[in-house]
């Protein structure tokens, strides 16, 4: 029995693999727990700068990618948890085994947006063309 008559968490139904999945906004506690788990083992930046990762071999790069995919699917597991009977660990494990690499963002992006955790990828700044510089004299200076 719930303390509240209506659900307090926002939800969104997304089509995925021929079915409809209901994703829920993460509760305040789940959001903190997710952020703790997804950043575990990452050293804090020194002097406000985040150093670029350096890899000794390709295996380290793939390990970083694997951790990123796992963290994204962990967020999806948290978002599915309110409507499911499985434990968080079971949901996460099932997602890691079942979701194809090209489908991860189909679930992650709506789940992250729902909980205010989505950060769009940075776009490279457009290179200024010579024509633009001629049109705007302030850009020449």
Encode pLDDT of 123-133 as tens digits: 656 644 444 44
Work out the pLDDT band at 45, boundaries 50, 70, 90.
Answer: low
- Burial (CB count within 10 angstroms: exposed 0-12, middle 13-18, buried 19+), residue 31: middle
| Residue of higher predicted confidence among 43 and 103 | 103
- Sign of CA pseudo-dihedral 101, 112, 59, 50: positive
pLDDT in tens, 48-100: 665 566 656 655 555 557 778 899 999 999 999 998 999 999 999 999 999 99
pLDDT in tens, 15-42: 999 999 999 999 999 999 998 898 887 7
pLDDT in the model for residue 141: 46
Topology annotation, domain 8-39+61-118: rbstp2171 (3.30.2220)
Domain boundaries, the chain: 8-39+61-118
């Amino acid at each position: 029995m719930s303390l509240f008559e209506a659900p307090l968490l926002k939800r969104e139904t997304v089509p995925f693999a021929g079915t409809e999945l209901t994703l829920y906004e993460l509760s305040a506690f789940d959001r903190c727990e997710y952020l703790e788990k997804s950043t575990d083992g990452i050293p804090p930046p020194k002097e406000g700068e985040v150093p670029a990762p350096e890899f000794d071999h390709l295996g380290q790069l793939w390990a970083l990618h694997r951790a990123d995919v796992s963290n994204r699917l962990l967020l999806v597991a948290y978002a599915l948890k309110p409507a499911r009977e499985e434990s968080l660990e079971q949901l996460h494990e099932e997602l890691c085994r079942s979701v194809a690499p090209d489908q991860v963002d189909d679930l992650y992006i709506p789940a992250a947006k729902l909980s205010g955790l989505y950060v769009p990828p940075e776009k490279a700044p457009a290179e200024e063309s010579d024509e633009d510089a001629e049109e705007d004299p302030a850009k020449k200076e």
